[in-house]
Chains A and B, each alone.
Chain A
Amino acid sequence: MNTNPKLFSKRDLFIILVLAIGLGIWIGLKQLSPAAARAVVLVDGKVYKVIPLNKDAYYKIYRGKTYLMTVQTKPGAIRATYSTNWIFPETETNQVSVATGWISKQGETIISIPNRIVIYTEGLKKKTLYDVMTFQN
Chain B
Amino acid sequence: MQKIRVVVLSIFTLAVAAIVVFVVIAKRPPQYYVRRGIVFGTNVKIAYATRKKNAKFVVDAMFDELRKLNGIFNPYEPGTDLYKLNHSNGKWMKVNSQLLSVLKYSINFAKETGGEFDPTLGKIIALWGFNTDDPRKWRVPTPAEISDALKHVGYTNVEFKGNEVRLLNGVWVDLEGIVKGYAVDALLAMAKANDEKSTGYVDVGGDIGIIGPKYGKQPWKISIQNPRGMPNSGISYVYLYKGSIATSGDHEKYVIVNGKRYYHTLNPKTGYPSDYFKSVTAISRDGMLSNAFDMAAMVGGPSKIEKWASEFGVAYMAVNENGKILTNSLWKDYENP
Is the Cβ of B222 less than 8 Å from the Cβ of A8?
A: no
Q: Does B69 interact with chain A (Cβ within 8 Å)?
A: no
Q: With A23-B21, A109-B232 as known contacts, state yes or no: A136 contacts B249, CB within 8 Å.
A: yes
- Band of interface residues on B: 35 or more
Surface stretch bound by B, among A52-60, A64-72, A94-102: A94-102
Closest to B210 in A: A132
For residue A16, which residues in chain B have a CB less than 8 angstroms away from its CB? 9, 12-13, 16
B61 at the interface (CB under 8 A from A): no
Q: Using A132-B201, A137-B205 as known contacts, say yes or no to A45 and B63 having CB atoms under 8 A apart.
A: yes
Q: Are B135 and A93 in contact (CB under 8 A)?
A: yes
Encoded as 1 (CB less than 8 Å from any B CB) or 0, chain A from 100 to 120 comes to 110101001101011011101
Are A137 and B17 neighbours in the complex by a CB distance under 8 Å? Answer: no
Q: Number of A interface residues at 8 Å Cβ cutoff, please give it.
A: 50
Cβ contacts under 8 Å, A93 to chain B = 135, 138, 253-256
With most chain B CB atoms within 10 A of its CB, the pick from A12, A93, A129 is A93
A70 vs B208: C-alpha distance in the bound complex, in angstroms?
Answer: 30
**Distance between B327 CB and nearest chain A CB, rounded to angstroms:** 14
Distance to closest chain B CB from A40 (angstroms): 9
Whether B5 contacts A7 by the Cβ 8 Å rule is: yes
How far is the CB of B166 from the nearest CB of chain A, in Å? Answer: 31
B286 contacts the other chain (CB 8 A): no
For residue A42, CB closer than 8 A to chain B, the reply is yes
Given A7-B5, A133-B224, decide whether A101 and B230 contact each other with a Cβ distance below 8 A: yes
- Asked if A129 contacts B221 (CB within 8 A), the reply is yes
Chain B, range 184-226, C-beta contacts under 8 Å to A: 201, 203, 205-208, 214, 220-225
Q: How far is the CA of A109 from the CA of B43 in the complex (A)?
A: 10
Q: Are B231 and A99 in contact (CB under 8 A)?
A: yes
CB contacts (< 8 Å) of A103 on chain B: these are 232
Is A50 part of the contact surface with B, judged by Cβ < 8 Å? no
Say whether B38 contacts A128, CB under 8 Å: no
Q: Are A108 and B254 in contact (CB under 8 A)?
A: no
Among listed B90-98, B145-153, B240-248, interface-contacting one: B240-248
> Whole-angstrom distance between the alpha carbons of A131 and B47 in the complex?
10
Given A93-B254, A100-B232, answer yes or no on A136-B17 (Cβ-Cβ < 8 Å).
no
* B-chain residues with CB within 8 Å of residue A134 when the two chains form the complex: 206-208, 222-225, 245-247, 281
> Is the C-beta of A24 less than 8 angstroms from some C-beta in chain B?
yes
Residues of chain B within 8 A (CB-CB) of A2 are 1-2, 5
Contact A118 B37 (CB under 8 A): yes
CA distance A92 to B251 in the complex (A): 10
Residue of A nearest to B36 (CB): A118
Q: Is the CB of B231 within 8 A of A96?
A: yes
Out of B41, B136, B180, B206, which one reaches A133, CB within 8 Å?
B206
B28 at the interface (CB under 8 A from A): yes
CB-CB contacts below 8 Å: B8-56 with A: 8-9, 12-13, 16-17, 19-21, 23-24, 28, 36-39, 41-43, 45, 47
- Shortest CB distance A110–B (Å): 8
Chain A CB within 8 A of B160 CB: no
List the B side residues contacting A135 at CB < 8 Å.
Answer: 205-206, 225, 231, 247, 249, 252
The residues of B that contact A45 with a CB separation of less than 8 Å are 36-39, 63
A133 to B281, CA, bound (A): 11
Q: For residue B255, give the distance in angstroms from its CB to the closest CB of chain A.
A: 5
Check B41–A24 contact: CB distance below 8 A.
no
Contact of A132 among B2, B134, B220, B257 (CB under 8 A): B220
A31: interface (CB < 8 Å): yes
Q: Give the 10 A-B residue pairs with the shortest CB-CB distance, closest first.
A: A45-B37, A136-B249, A24-B20, A137-B205, A130-B223, A135-B206, A135-B225, A94-B135, A93-B135, A20-B16
**Which residues on B are within 8 Å of A, measured CB to CB?**
1-2, 4-5, 8-9, 12-13, 16-17, 19-21, 23-24, 28, 36-39, 41-43, 45, 47, 63, 133-136, 138, 180, 201, 203, 205-208, 214, 220-225, 227, 230-232, 234, 237, 245-257, 279, 281
18 A–B pairs (Cβ distance < 8 Å), ordered by A = A7-B8, A12-B9, A15-B9, A19-B13, A19-B16, A24-B17, A27-B24, A44-B38, A94-B253, A96-B231, A113-B133, A116-B37, A131-B220, A132-B222, A133-B224, A134-B223, A136-B251, A137-B180
If A133-B223, A136-B250 are given as contacts, then 5 extra A-B residue pairs at C-beta distance below 8 Å, sorted by A number, are A15-B13, A24-B17, A113-B43, A130-B223, A135-B206
